[in-house]
């Protein structure tokens, strides 16, 4: 279907009534189960690959990547170890190498595909603390991550899981975390607290506004203080492929770890996050699991299960590999540039509209804007109305406590006409 129907959620009681009892002693049979899936369940979702799905961070998988995902699921290959999944792991590793090279990481860099940015951030920060523990065996206090208030919520979630703290670093007038600000926070701490700081978690493309932290100065301060430099590029680091914005990522090549979610801006299906390591040995020391039935898996090549907080895993990097191999890097570069151009076009349309105003400094493929005179209730009613009509899915967000609207362009099939259609409804 081109485009797919936008569809929308249904209340649980409606789904229960329409679907009825689906799991029974005798079973419904394959045809009836498939009918329920196609006619009841999937229409009660929202199609993230619809060209006018501009909320949150959408998805826009290529047809090649969807086909490969079907093959991976049907093949039932265990891709946690080289011995059992060598062929697919080899293809995943080639894709990881491409991403490391795109980021400018050293030749010895490597990585693995995990389920999403939350898993990637957690795995990276666990390895960071593991290295700090080895380097500072006498430290007995709390361990602390430095991050800005714009950092993704998964950084705070990782800290809770790890039972460590997050020290918030103020942002500058461009909403960036800088090395100078990190240095000031460290200098203001009690020595015993500063001794527990082990990592800076930067962002290359914040979820709300697409802001890229001052990565070069952050790399400097991390080197100066012996801190792990992690970059959360789950959404934005795909912009590394675009010559028009590549210079904004200066310093990312010095990171100890980076995450990039191909299921966001690299046109792969859910769930897929590339976790890149400057030194994969740090990951192996932190994450390798040992047991009698596992220690026999040494086979001369690094196992994906040793490179993150997981053991069993599917070859979730294969859809991206297959799509890249099918279409080539140039097509990916063009697709990313297309969505950046769409964001720039949207800014021009918003600035030309009498009742609309751009909010903040647009970055990458995200644009926030206000409708003059509207309250939070107006925004929500408008968003709900567009979804009910099947016209678009655009949700309100908040910037500095103000409710605003936000476009996130991921799908290169979105057009200027789509943007004009959505904006025209704001004059009602």
pLDDT for 395 equals 98
The residue-averaged pLDDT of 340-352 equals: 98
Instruction: Write the pLDDT tens digit of every residue in 278-322.
Output: 999 999 999 999 888 887 656 557 899 999 999 999 999 999 999
Question: Is 270's pLDDT higher than 80?
Answer: yes
pTM of the model: 0.97
Of 2.60.40.60, 3.90.25.10, 3.90.1150.10, 3.20.20.70, which CATH number belongs to 329-427?
3.90.1150.10
pLDDT for 28 equals 97
pLDDT for 300 equals 59
What is the rounded CA–CA span in Å between residue 218 and residue 177? 8
Residue spans of the domains in the chain: they are 66-327, 329-427
Q: Is 154 exposed, middle or buried (0-12, 13-18, 19+ CB in 10 A)?
A: buried
Q: In which residue are the tokens 């009509």 written? A: 389
Question: Is 114's pLDDT higher than 70?
Answer: yes
pLDDT for 333 equals 98
The residue-averaged pLDDT of 231-254 equals: 98
Phi, psi of 408 (to 5 degrees): -125, 115
The residue-averaged pLDDT of 330-355 equals: 98
For residue 307, give the nearest of 259, 263, 358 by alpha carbon: 259
Helices (H), 76-116: 82-103
The residue-averaged pLDDT of 205-217 equals: 97
| Fold: same for 66-327 and 329-427 | no
Domain 66-327 has CATH 3.90.1170.50: no
For residue 158, give the nearest of 198, 186, 117 by alpha carbon: 117
Instruction: Write the pLDDT tens digit of every residue in 38-92.
Output: 999 999 999 999 999 999 999 999 999 999 999 999 999 999 999 999 999 999 9
């Amino acid at each position: 279907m081109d485009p797919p129907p936008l569809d929308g959620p249904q209340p649980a009681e409606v789904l229960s009534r329409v679907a009825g009892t689906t799991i029974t002693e005798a079973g419904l049979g394959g045809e009836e189960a498939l009918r329920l899936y196609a006619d009841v369940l999937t229409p009660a979702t929202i199609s993230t690959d619809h060209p006018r799905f501009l909320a949150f961070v959408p998805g826009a998988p290529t047809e090649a990547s969807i086909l490969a995902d079907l093959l991976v699921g049907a093949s039932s290959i265990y891709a946690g170890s080289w011995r059992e999944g060598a062929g697919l792991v080899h293809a995943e590793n080639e894709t990881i190498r491409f991403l490391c090279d795109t980021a400018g990481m050293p030749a010895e860099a490597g990585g693995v595909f995990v389920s999403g940015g939350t898993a990637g951030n957690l795995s990276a920060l666990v390895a960071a603390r593991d290295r700090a523990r080895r380097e500072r065996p006498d430290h007995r206090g709390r361990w602390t991550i430095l991050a800005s208030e714009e950092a993704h919520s998964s950084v705070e979630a990782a800290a809770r899981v790890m039972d460590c703290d997050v020290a918030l670093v103020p942002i500058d007038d461009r909403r960036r975390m800088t090395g100078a600000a990190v240095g000031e926070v460290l200098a203001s701490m009690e020595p015993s607290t500063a001794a527990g700081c082990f990592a800076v978690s930067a962002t290359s493309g914040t979820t709300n506004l697409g802001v890229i932290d001052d990565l070069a100065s952050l790399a400097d301060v991390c080197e100066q203080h012996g801190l792990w430099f992690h970059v959360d590029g789950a959404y934005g680091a795909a912009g590394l492929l675009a010559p028009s914005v590549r210079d904004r990522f200066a310093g990312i090549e010095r990171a100890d770890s980076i995450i990039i979610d191909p299921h966001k801006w690299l046109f792969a299906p859910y769930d897929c996050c590339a976790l890149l390591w400057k030194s994969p040995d740090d990951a192996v020391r932190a994450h390798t699991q040992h047991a009698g039935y596992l220690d026999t898996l040494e086979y001369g090549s690094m196992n994906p299960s040793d490179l993150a907080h997981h053991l069993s895993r599917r070859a979730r990097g294969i859809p991206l590999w297959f799509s890249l191999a099918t279409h080539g890097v140039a097509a990916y570069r063009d697709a990313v540039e297309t969505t950046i151009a769409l964001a720039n076009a949207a800014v021009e349309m918003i600035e030309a509209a009498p009742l609309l105003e751009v909010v903040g400094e647009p970055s990458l493929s995200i644009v926030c804007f206000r409708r003059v005179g509207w309250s939070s209730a107006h925004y929500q009613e408008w968003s709900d109305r567009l979804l009910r009509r099947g016209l678009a899915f655009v949700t309100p967000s908040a910037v500095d406590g103000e409710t605003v609207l936000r476009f996130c362009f991921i799908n290169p099939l979105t057009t200027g006409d789509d943007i004009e259609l959505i904006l025209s409804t704001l004059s009602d």
